[in-house]
Amino acid sequence: MRYFAQHQIAFPRRVWGPGEIGTLRWGAVNLSRILAILHNPTYTGTYVYGRRRSQPVIQAGQITKVKTQQLPQEDWTVIKHLRPSRLHKLGGLLGKRTATDT
């Protein structure tokens, strides 16, 4: 994260506000975005289905919003080693960069 900030490297994020649903925006990196990527099983080569459940909120007979609930890990459907891990490659690159920069 420090490297991105020091070199002013833009980082992608999706916007989910009204009128911009799914729009890709580039900007400064933040800790929550980095943690979201590191906790995403896709980067370990694992496919996971069922991490969250969406529940519509109904008021006066209309769906007003949708609540998203994180489900316990034991309820997920997991397919391991579907593709090579990207975190392993990233860890190697970061290790090399750290060794040469110190």
pLDDT at site 80: 78
State in Å, rounded, how far the first CA of the chain is from the last one. Answer: 17
Residue 87 pLDDT grade (very low, low, confident, very high; cuts 50, 70, 90): low
- Indicate the average pLDDT of the chain: 78
Average pLDDT over residues 58-78: 87
Domain boundaries, the chain: 2-83
Three-class SS of residue 74? helix
pTM for this predicted structure? 0.49
Residue 91 pLDDT grade (very low, low, confident, very high; cuts 50, 70, 90): low
Q: In this structure, which amino acid lies at residue 21? A: I
Q: Is the pLDDT of residue 94 over 70?
A: no
For residue 88, CA distances in Å to 37, 65, 74, 84, 97 come to 13, 38, 24, 9, 14
pLDDT at site 89: 54
Residue 2 pLDDT grade (very low, low, confident, very high; cuts 50, 70, 90): confident
